[in-house]
Amino acid sequence: MSVLALLVAFVALPLERRWSQREALIDSSAERLSRLRSLVASESALRSTLATRERGTAGARSVVSGRTPALAAAELQSAVQSYALRSRVSVNRLDVAGAPDTAGTILPMIPASLQAVGDIHGISEFLSFLEAGTPVMEIREMTIVSNSSLRGGLLQLSLALRVPSVIE
């Protein structure tokens, strides 16, 4: 009787535990495979849905908007400050005009000028964010000057830009 109890305790129960763990692993693998196959089967539908959503939101995010020109300008300032923070560039001056420029464009354009300081990598990353980010920014003038009074090879960037806006 004791041999039977030892056999159950040291052979049958560990075997049953391993068997259960193996079955659970097989079930989870089969479930993951099933989900993966369904994703592959519906890839084209998922891609078209994503493209539709991106087209729908691309226009809304490409302009700044606000109830007043000042609120739209504040949104522009927030976007520029965010880009500067992400690229480790220090913005010394950021002036956003309160009145949008409506001459020659479909949408009113909010003009802004900024001066920033950073190293070559930060400045190039900042310009990349301005180029590829949202809202769309039209850079009208750009000056990059190596300032010998600044240590560490820092560059001084001056920009004049315009951003399309929607005043609600």
pLDDT digits (tens, 9 = 90+) for 44-63: 888 888 777 766 655 445 77
Over residues 153-161, the mean pLDDT reads 87
* 72 and 152 both lie in a single domain: yes
Q: What pTM does this model have?
A: 0.59
CA distance 12 to 59: 66
Give the residue from 28, 46, 61 where a domain finishes.
Answer: 61
Amino acid code (one letter) for 134: T
Over residues 69-94, the mean pLDDT reads 88
Domain count within the chain: 2
* 3-state SS class at 105: coil
CA distance 7 to 73: 79
What's the CATH number where 152 sits?
A: 3.30.70.60
Give the residue numbers spanning the domain of 151: 64-167
* 42 and 84 both lie in a single domain: no
Tokens of 15: 């075997």
Half-sphere exposure for 102 (CA within 13 Å, toward CB): 4
CB 138: neighbour CB atoms within 10 A?
A: 13
Burial class of residue 107, CB neighbours in 10 A (0-12, 13-18, 19+): middle
* 35 and 80 both lie in a single domain: no
pLDDT band at 75 (very low <50, low <70, confident <90, very high): confident
* Of 51-55, 116-120, 140-144, the least confident: 51-55
Cβ distance 138 to 109 under 8 Å?
yes
Give the residue from 35, 61, 87 where a domain finishes.
Answer: 61
CA distance 122 to 48: 36
Residues whose CB is less than 8 angstroms from the CB of residue 156 and which lie 6 or more positions away in sequence, other chains included: 115, 116, 117, 144, 145, 146, 147, 150
